[in-house]
């Protein structure tokens, strides 16, 4: 018999977090997130998402042993902007057992139905723009890049058994920098469009970081506003995200495009530090501070992969060629820093423009993350 119990105490929450490590203890490609980051992500006082939205965590037990976990989530802005009546589930992990999966999905669906929602979508953790949406559907033979997750292959079958169907796929493209195509042609075209439209690109100004991330927020919200599932991020959302990623900013990989004096586009890419995190098993303490510092100092220069989080231009400036300019600028930064691979993640399956751009450069769809839904 499966018993589903709400997470009510801090000890329960720690069990909820640590269950993920148990599920992947034999996985070659799982990169354990830091436990302190998981705590922050689920902290209703620290994560601004919970200011307006509720979340309920659940653990599944069989014979007193934890066999699964799930979160039921509301997202008021999503429903308001997209004229939907959807609840969400996330943070899903379980053993390979249909009974466990059904009990978890049923409990999250019940919570959402009691909130008045008519469908459920997931997994999101806790929303589309936060930590690693979707279950991995392709690319099980490789480690994930930073802030994307590995998930068990059997989750796809469990979702099907629970009556959920695919609602959207998210693509992750891998670019081998040395084999990128059309770069010389792009550079010639870029020189012409720069002069024609008075375009230029500069790095983010870290001395004015509090002003700069507001520019990035504005471009992100406007450039992606028509994308499926997109919800504008608030100033508080961006402050929360920036507090974690600021230390990883490299001036050659976070760039802003301008037409005259108007910010019209941006690239946000970060060194992929997952190979630094993987041996830590979720905590600095398991390694010791001295060993951690020694490892970072010796390995940081060995980073040869970047994750491209954001690359886009405001719709009204699409015709200027600024997108091509940003791509070329990113590639040249890759050459400069001896980057071997770049991973563009994630891109909606029906974002034809961005998918074609990635493929034109020689990108390969290396991973697919799948979101599911069903009526409740």
Q: What pLDDT digit, counting tens, does each position of 18-46 carry?
A: 999 999 999 999 999 989 889 999 999 99
Tell me the two tokens of residue 154.
């059997």
Determine if the peptide bond prior to 123 is cis (ω within 30°).
Answer: yes
d(CA 255, CA 271): 14
DSSP helix/strand/coil, 114: helix
Q: How sure is the predictor about 165, in pLDDT bands with cuts at 50, 70 and 90?
A: very high
Angle at 191 between CA 189 and CA 195, to 5 degrees: 120
Up-side HSE of residue 66: CA atoms within 13 Å toward CB? 22
Would you say residue 325 has pLDDT above 90? yes
* Average pLDDT for 263-267: 98
Of residues 216, 142, 138, the one with CA closest to residue 170 = 138
pLDDT of residue 296: 55
Residue 100 above 80 pLDDT? yes
Lowest mean pLDDT among 5-14, 45-54, 159-168, 276-285: 276-285
Whole-number Å distance between alpha carbons of 214 and 234: 10
pLDDT(250) > 80: yes
- What per-residue confidence (pLDDT) applies to 290? 47
Question: Does pLDDT of 195 surpass 90?
Answer: yes
User: Which tokens hold the place of 364?
Assistant: 């390969």
In this prediction, residue 9 has a pLDDT band, given cuts at 50, 70 and 90, of very high
The predicted model gives 91-109 an average pLDDT of 99
Q: How many residues does the chain have?
A: 376
Mean pLDDT of 154-166: 99
Residue 244 or residue 172, greater confidence: 172
Question: Which pair of tokens denotes residue 1?
Answer: 């018999």
Residue 280 predicted with pLDDT over 90: no
Residue partners of 205: CB distance under 8 A and separation at least 6: 211, 212
- Measured from the Cβ of residue 191, the count of other Cβ atoms closer than 10 Å reads 11
Query: What is the average per-residue pLDDT within 322-332?
Result: 94
Share of the chain above pLDDT 90, in %: 79
Res 101 pLDDT > 50: yes
**pLDDT tens column, 134-145:** 999 999 999 999
Which alpha helices (DSSP H) does the chain contain, by range?
10-23, 35-42, 76-82, 98-114, 155-161, 183-197, 209-223, 235-245, 274-277, 289-299, 322-336, 352-360
Instruction: Band the pLDDT of 245: cuts 50, 70, 90.
Output: confident
> How far is residue 355's CA from residue 235's CA, in Å, rounded to a whole number?
29
Rounded Cα–Cα distance for residues 90 and 92 (Å): 5
Average pLDDT, the chain: 93
Residue-level pLDDT at 187: 87
Q: What are phi and psi of 150, to 5 degrees?
A: -95, 145
| Residue 236: count of CB within 10 angstroms of its CB | 12
Domains observed in the chain: 2-166 (3.40.630.30), 175-375 (3.40.630.30)
H or E stretch including 61?
strand 55-62
Cβ distance 265 to 317 under 8 Å?
Answer: yes
């Amino acid at each position: 018999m499966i018993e589903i119990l709400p997470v009510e105490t801090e000890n329960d929450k720690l069990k909820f977090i640590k269950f993920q490590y148990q599920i992947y203890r034999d996985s070659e490609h799982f990169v354990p997130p830091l436990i302190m980051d998981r705590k922050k992500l689920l902290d209703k006082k620290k994560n601004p998402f919970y200011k307006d939205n509720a979340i309920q965590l659940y653990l599944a037990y069989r014979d007193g042993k934890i066999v699964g976990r799930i979160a039921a989530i509301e997202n008021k802005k999503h429903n308001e902007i997209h004229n939907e009546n959807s609840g969400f589930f996330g943070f899903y992990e379980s053993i390979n057992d249909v009974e466990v999966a059904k009990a978890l999905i049923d409990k999250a669906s019940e919570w959402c139905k009691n909130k008045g929602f008519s469908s459920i979508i997931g997994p999101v953790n806790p929303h589309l723009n936060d930590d690693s949406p979707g279950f991995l559907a392709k690319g099980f033979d490789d480690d994930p890049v930073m802030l994307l997750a590995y998930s068990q292959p059997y989750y796809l079958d469990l979702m099907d058994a629970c009556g959920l169907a695919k609602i959207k796929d998210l693509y992750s493209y891998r670019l081998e920098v040395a084999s990128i195509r059309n770069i010389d042609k792009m550079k010639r075209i870029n020189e012409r469009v720069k002069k024609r439209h008075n375009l230029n690109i500069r790095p983010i100004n870290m001395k004015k970081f509090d002003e700069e991330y507001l520019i990035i927020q504005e471009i992100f919200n406007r450039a992606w506003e028509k994308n499926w599932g997109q919800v504008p991020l608030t100033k508080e959302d961006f402050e929360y995200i920036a507090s974690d990623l600021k230390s990883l900013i490299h001036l050659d990989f976070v760039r802003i495009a301008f037409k005259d004096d108007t910010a019209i586009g941006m690239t946000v890419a970060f060194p992929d530090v997952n190979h630094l995190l993987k041996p830590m098993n979720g905590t600095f303490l398991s390694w010791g501070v001295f060993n951690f510092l020694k490892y970072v100092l010796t390995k940081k220069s060995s980073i040869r992969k970047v994750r491209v989080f954001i690359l886009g231009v405001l719709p009204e400036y699409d015709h200027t060629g600024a997108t091509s300019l940003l791509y070329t600028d990113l590639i040249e930064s890759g050459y400069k820093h001896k980057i071997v691979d770049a991973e563009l993640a994630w891109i909606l399956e029906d974002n034809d423009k961005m998918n074609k751009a990635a493929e034109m450069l020689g990108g390969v769809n290396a991973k697919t993350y799948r979101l599911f839904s069903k009526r409740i």
